[in-house]
Amino acid sequence: MGLMKVFSGSEVLAMALQEKIEAIGVNVVVKNNIQSARLGGFGNSDLAVELFVQETEFAKVNPVIEEFRMSI
């Protein structure tokens, strides 16, 4: 079982999608490249926040992701 990336984008959108996914009872792993770069003392505008879920949960979260993408 591995992790599957379901989103890559701005921190605000990532947080909104994370809330929606967690509302259906699925845990989300967040990789925040923006915060990591800032804490490291350098910044880069092409970095993004990535969201991951377990591969086994993808079928459950896919409708939530598609609805979110259609709403933005």
User: Alpha carbon 31 to chain centroid distance?
Assistant: 8
Distances (CA, A) of 3 to 36, 41, 59, 60: 20, 29, 13, 14
Q: What is the pLDDT of residues 8-44, one digit of tens each?
A: 998 899 999 999 999 999 999 999 876 655 565 665 5
How far are the Cα atoms of 35, 45, 48 from residue 57, in angstroms, in the given order? 27, 31, 23
For the chain, the domains span: 3-71
pLDDT of residue 32: 86
Helices (H), the chain: 11-23, 33-39, 58-71
- Does domain 3-71 fall into CATH 3.30.70? yes
pTM, two decimals, is 0.82
pLDDT digits (tens, 9 = 90+) for 37-71: 556 566 555 568 999 999 999 999 999 999 999 99
